[in-house]
Chains A and B, each alone.
Chain A
Amino acid sequence: MNHQALTAILFLSVVALTLVITIRASRQTSGAADFYAGGRSFSGFQNGLAIGGDYMSAASFLGISGAIALAGYDGFLYSIGFLVAWLVALLLVAEMLRNSGKFTMADQLAYRMRQRPVRTAAATSTVTVSIFYLLAQMVGAGSLVVLLLGIDKENTLAVSAVIAGVGALMIVYVTVGGMKGTTWVQIVKAVLLMAGSALIVVLVLAKFHFNLSELLGTAAAESGKPGFLEPGLKYGIDATHKLDFLSLGIALVLGTAGLPHILVRFYTVPTSRDARKSVLWAIGLIGVFYLFTLVLGFGAAALLKTGVGSDVANSGGNLASPLLAEAVGGGAGSTGGAILLAVISAVAFATILAVVAGLTLTSSTSVAHDIYNAVIRKGQATEQEEIRVTRYAAAGLGVVAILLAIPARNLNIAFLVALAFAVAASANLPAIVYNMFWRRFNTRGATWSIYGGLISCVTLVFFSPVVSGKLNADGTSAALFPAGVDFHWFPLENPGLVSIPLGFFFGWLGTVTSKEPAAEERFTELEVRALTGAGAEQAVSH
C-alpha cells in the first residue's frame, strides 16, 4: 500500500473518531453553560490538555519545526515566545477571568461597565482575531492536505473541496458538539500530537546516539548555512529586521493571554483553582512540545535536503516534520517510512481540525452572547434562542471562512497568525489588564483601547511589506499583492512594537478623559470576586 492511500485512511479515521466524540458530547449538552463552557465540569488536567490542543496549531507543529529546519536558531524564538507567554496567562489572567466572567471575553469587561459599547467592541475584536487565525489555518490545511494526499496543486476543484470539507467539519463539531465536543476533540488531538512527535523525536535522537551536540553539528554542516546555530540568520540582516524580531518577540509574549479562543477555555473548569491547574498542565505540555520542535527542526536540517528547490524549502518548511517522519521510518519507499509519514500527516490534520473548531466556537459564542443577546435583545433572549443564534453564527462564520480561504489558497497569508497575536496583544490584553488592576478604568477607556489597538494593528499591517512590496530573491512577490504593487510605508512586518503601546495609551487616554463613577464603584465587587471566587459562576451538576 502506498503512503497516500494509508494517509487517506488515517485521515478518515481521524474524521470518524472526532465525529463520534462530537455526537456523544451533544447528548450531554442541554443548557447554555453546557454548550458554551462544557458545563464548567472539566478537570484541570483535562482542560490543560485541551488548552494544549487549542493552542498548538499547525503553525506550531509544522511551522516552527520548518522554520528551524530552514533558518536554524531563529526559528527557535517562536517556541520560546509562545511558551513564556503562558506566564502572563497564569499570573495575571486565568484565575481572575474564571472568577469574573461567564462565557466570553466581554463578560469580564461588562461586569463593571456599560454593556453595549464594551460588548460590541470586545465582540468585534474577538471575531476579527478569530477570522484572521481561522483563515490562516484553513489555507494551511488546504495546502497541507493537498501535499500529503498528492493532489495536484493546480486542481482548483480538489483544493477547494478540501478547504470546504475542513470548514464543514468544524461547523459540525461546533453546532453539534458545542464546547464539550470541541474540548474532547482538542484533548484527543493533544494526546495524538504529543505521542506522534515524541515518537519521531526519539527516533531522530537515536540516529545521533542521543547526543544533542552531534545532532546540532550535523544539522549545521548539512544545512550549508554559516551561523545556522546562532541567532541572526533570518532576522539579523539589518536594523529593520532586528526591530522586526523585537516586535515579533513582544507580540508573541503578550498576545497569548489575549487570544479569545484561549480565554474561553478558562470557563470550562469548576473553579479558579482548576483554571490555575489547567494552565500549569498546559505550560508543562506546551513546554515539552516546543522542546520537541527543536529536535524536529534541527533533525530535519540534519537528515533532509533543505537547500533551494528541495521539498522542504518549496513548502516553506511546512513539510519538514512529515518528511522527517518518513526519513526516520526508513526513508521514501519503505514500509516504515510510509507508515510514519501517514501517521504524522494524520496528526497534523487532527491538529488543524481541533484549532479551527475552537476558533469557530469562540467567535460564534461572542456573536450570540455579546451582540445578539446583550446588544440587540438587551439581555432578554432565552438560553435556547441564544444557543440557536450561536449555531447559525457558527455556520455563517464557517461559510465566510471557506469563501475567503478558497480564493486565498495560493496567497501567502502566513502573516495572519502573527497579526492575530498582535491584535490580541494590542486590543485585548490592555483592556483585560486595566480592567483587573485599575479602579479608574471605564467604558470609554475599554472601547478606546480595543478599537485603538485593533485599528492601529490592522492599519500598520495593511501598509507593511507583507501586504505589498516584499519580494522573494527571484523577484516574485512574497506579499499578499503581486509584484509591482507597492504602497507600503510601515517598515516592519510585525506591528506589535507600535500597536501594543498604542493600545495601552488609548486605554489610558479614554479613561482619563471621562468619568464613570459606577464603573469605579463596581471595581470593588469585581476585585473581591476575581480574587476570592465569591459569587463566581458554578459548575453544572448533572
Chain B
Amino acid sequence: MPSDLSPHDVAARHDPVYDELHAAPEFAELKRRYRGFVFPATIAFLAWYLLYVVLSNWGGDFMSHKVVGNINVALVFGLLQFVTTFTIAWLYSRYSTSRLDPLARTLDERFVELAGKPSDGRSDH
C-alpha cells in the first residue's frame, strides 16, 4: 500500500536523503532561481490584472476613450491581458527549461543514487 499512509495518524517518517539534497548548493541555487522568477512574476501579473479591474470600475472616462474606429482603451486593455498572460507563460517555459530543469535533473539523479530507488511511490505492475 501507499507508503505515505502510515498506520499512525502522522505523516510518514522523514527520509534523511532529502536532508542531504536540501543542503546541496545546487538545491539552494534551484530554489533561488525558481523563487526569483515566480515571486516577481506573480506580483506583476496580479497587480496588472487588478489595475485592469480597478480601471474598469473607476476609470470610465479613460477606458471609454476610442483608439481606432470602435475599438476603445477598455478593449485594448483587455486584449493586453491576453498578451501578457501568453508572454509570461512563454517566458516561464523558456526560463524553466534552461535554468531550472538541468538543476532539478541533477538533484533527482543524485536522489536515485543515494536512495537506490527511483520513487517511494510504487508502480502498479
* Chain A residues at the B interface, C-beta cutoff of 8 Å: 30-34, 39, 73, 76-77, 79-81, 83-84, 86-88, 90-92, 102, 107, 110-116, 212-214, 216-217, 220, 227, 229-232, 235-236, 242, 245-246, 249-250, 253, 273, 276, 279-280, 283-284, 287, 290-291, 373-374, 378-383, 518-519, 521-522, 524-525, 527-529, 531-538, 540-542
Q: Return chain B residues, CB-CB under 8 Å to A525.
A: 14-15, 18-19, 22
Q: Are A245 and B57 in contact (CB under 8 A)?
A: yes
Please report the C-alpha to C-alpha distance between residue A408 and residue B55 in the assembled complex, in whole angstroms: 37
Please report the C-alpha to C-alpha distance between residue A449 and residue B27 in the assembled complex, in whole angstroms: 30
Q: Are B85 and A87 in contact (CB under 8 A)?
A: yes
Q: Which residue on B lies nearest to A241, using beta carbons?
A: B57
Q: Are A535 and B119 in contact (CB under 8 A)?
A: yes
Q: Which of A112, A284, A379, A527 has the most CB of B within 10 A?
A: A379
Q: Are B123 and A541 in contact (CB under 8 A)?
A: yes
Q: Return chain B residues, CB-CB under 8 Å to A519.
A: 11
Q: Are B121 and A537 in contact (CB under 8 A)?
A: yes
Q: Are B125 and A536 in contact (CB under 8 A)?
A: no
Q: Return chain A residues, CB-CB under 8 Å to B54.
A: 246
Q: Return chain B residues, CB-CB under 8 Å to A379.
A: 1-2, 5-7
Pick the residue among A33, A83, A373, A533 that contacts B108 (CB under 8 A). Answer: A533
Q: Which residue on A lies nearest to B30, using beta carbons?
A: A531
Q: Are B85 and A536 in contact (CB under 8 A)?
A: no
Q: Which of B5, B27, B110 has the most CB of A within 10 A?
A: B5
Q: Return chain B residues, CB-CB under 8 Å to A533.
A: 104, 108
Q: Are A86 and B57 in contact (CB under 8 A)?
A: no
With A527-B22, A527-B31 known to touch, is A538 a contact of B121 (CB < 8 Å)? yes
Q: Return chain A residues, CB-CB under 8 Å to B38.
A: 91-92
Q: Return chain A residues, CB-CB under 8 Å to B4.
A: 102, 107, 110-111
How many chain B residues touch A (CB < 8 A): the figure is: 70
Q: Are B22 and A528 in contact (CB under 8 A)?
A: yes
Q: Which of B1, B70, B90, B111 has the most CB of A within 10 A?
A: B70
Please report the C-alpha to C-alpha distance between residue A34 and residue B18 in the assembled complex, in whole angstroms: 28
Please report the C-alpha to C-alpha distance between residue A437 and residue B109 in the assembled complex, in whole angstroms: 24
Q: Return chain A residues, CB-CB under 8 Å to B21.
A: 528, 532, 534
Q: Are B11 and A231 in contact (CB under 8 A)?
A: no
Pick the residue among B70, B82, B88, B110 that contacts A229 (CB under 8 A). Answer: B70
Please report the C-alpha to C-alpha distance between residue A441 and residue B57 in the assembled complex, in whole angstroms: 36
Q: Are B121 and A213 in contact (CB under 8 A)?
A: no
Q: Which of B10, B11, B31, B52 has the most CB of A within 10 A?
A: B11
Q: Are A532 and B30 in contact (CB under 8 A)?
A: yes
Chain B residues 47 to 64 lying within 8 A of chain A, measured CB to CB, are 49-50, 52-54, 56-58, 60, 63-64
Q: Are A283 and B86 in contact (CB under 8 A)?
A: yes
Pick the residue among B2, B11, B22, B121 that contacts A112 (CB under 8 A). Answer: B11
Please report the C-alpha to C-alpha distance between residue A290 and residue B85 in the assembled complex, in whole angstroms: 13
Q: Which 4 A-B pairs have the closest CB atoms?
A: A213-B69, A379-B5, A31-B124, A534-B111
Chain B residues 83 to 105 lying within 8 A of chain A, measured CB to CB, are 85-86, 88-90, 92-93, 96, 101, 103-104
With A242-B58, A379-B1 known to touch, is A283 a contact of B71 (CB < 8 Å)? no
Q: Which residue on A lies nearest to B24, using beta carbons?
A: A528
Q: Return chain B residues, CB-CB under 8 Å to A86.
A: 85, 89
Q: Which residue on B lies nearest to A100, using beta carbons?
A: B4
24 A-B residue contacts at CB 8 Å? A31-B125, A39-B124, A76-B75, A77-B56, A86-B89, A87-B85, A90-B89, A111-B11, A114-B10, A217-B69, A230-B63, A230-B72, A231-B74, A242-B58, A253-B49, A279-B89, A283-B89, A378-B9, A521-B14, A525-B18, A534-B115, A537-B121, A538-B119, A540-B124
A247 CB to nearest B CB, Å: 10
* Chain B residues at the A interface, C-beta cutoff of 8 Å: 1-2, 4-7, 9-11, 14-15, 18-19, 21-22, 27, 30-31, 34, 37-38, 41-42, 45-46, 49-50, 52-54, 56-58, 60, 63-64, 68-72, 74-75, 78, 81-82, 85-86, 88-90, 92-93, 96, 101, 103-104, 107-108, 110-112, 115, 118-121, 123-125
Q: Are B31 and A531 in contact (CB under 8 A)?
A: yes
B100 CB to nearest A CB, Å: 8
Please report the C-alpha to C-alpha distance between residue A114 and residue B6 in the assembled complex, in whole angstroms: 10
Q: Are B89 and A541 in contact (CB under 8 A)?
A: no
Pick the residue among B75, B124, B125 that contacts A73 (CB under 8 A). Answer: B75
Pick the residue among B19, B34, B88 that contacts A87 (CB under 8 A). Answer: B88
With A87-B85, A90-B89, A217-B69 known to touch, is A102 a contact of B18 (CB < 8 Å)? no
Q: Which residue on B lies nearest to A74, using beta carbons?
A: B56
Q: Are B125 and A540 in contact (CB under 8 A)?
A: yes
Please report the C-alpha to C-alpha distance between residue A115 and residue B4 in the assembled complex, in whole angstroms: 9
Q: Are B81 and A229 in contact (CB under 8 A)?
A: no
Please report the C-alpha to C-alpha distance between residue A220 and residue B115 in the assembled complex, in whole angstroms: 66
Q: Return chain B residues, CB-CB under 8 Å to A287.
A: 82, 85-86
Q: Are A535 and B2 in contact (CB under 8 A)?
A: no
Q: Are B118 and A538 in contact (CB under 8 A)?
A: yes
Please report the C-alpha to C-alpha distance between residue A535 and residue B107 in the assembled complex, in whole angstroms: 11
A320 CB to nearest B CB, Å: 19
A431 CB to nearest B CB, Å: 15
With A114-B9, A529-B18 known to touch, is A102 a contact of B2 (CB < 8 Å)? yes
Q: Are B27 and A518 in contact (CB under 8 A)?
A: no
B117 CB to nearest A CB, Å: 8
Q: Are B86 and A32 in contact (CB under 8 A)?
A: no
Q: Are A280 and B10 in contact (CB under 8 A)?
A: no
Q: Are B93 and A532 in contact (CB under 8 A)?
A: no
